[in-house]
Amino acid sequence: MSDQRPTVTTRDEGVALITWSATLQDQGWLVALEAVSQEVEKALADHVRVEALVPVGDETGQRIATWSGLRREGVLRGVPGPGGDADQILFARLAGDVPHSQPDGFRALLNSFLPRKRAISQMLVRGPEDRVLLCRLTYKDDWDLPGGVVEVGESPQVAVSREVSEELGLTIPAGPLLLTDWLPPWGGWDDAICLVFDGGRHDGDLLDDMVRQEREIRAAEFCTPEQVEERCADFTARRVRAALASLGGNGPTYTQSGE
Q: pLDDT for 130-157, tens place per residue?
A: 899 999 988 888 999 999 999 989 999 9
Contact 251, 177 (CB under 8 A): no
Name residues whose C-beta falls within 8 Å of residue 257's C-beta, 6 or more positions apart in sequence.
181, 182, 183, 184, 235, 238
The class (CATH top level) of 7-113 is alpha beta
Q: Mean pLDDT over all residues of the chain?
A: 92
Q: How many CB atoms lie within 10 A of CB 97?
A: 18
Give residue limits of the domains in the chain. Answer: 7-113, 118-256
pLDDT: which is higher, 1 or 53: 53
Contact 157, 174 (CB under 8 A): yes
- Which of 247, 74, 218 lies closest to 134, judged by CA? 218
Question: Which one-letter amino acid corresponds to residue 164?
Answer: V
User: Which CATH number applies to 118-256?
Assistant: 3.90.79.10
Task: List Cα–Cα distances, 32 to 102, 124, 203, 209, in angstroms.
Answer: 22, 54, 67, 64
pLDDT in tens, 44-86: 999 999 999 999 999 999 999 999 999 999 999 999 877 778 9
Q: How many CB atoms lie within 10 A of CB 162?
A: 18
Is residue 36 over pLDDT 80?
A: yes
pTM of the model: 0.80
Q: Distance between CA 173 and CA 25 in Å, rounded?
A: 55
Q: Distance between CA 116 and CA 111 in Å, rounded?
A: 9
Contact 90, 53 (CB under 8 A): yes
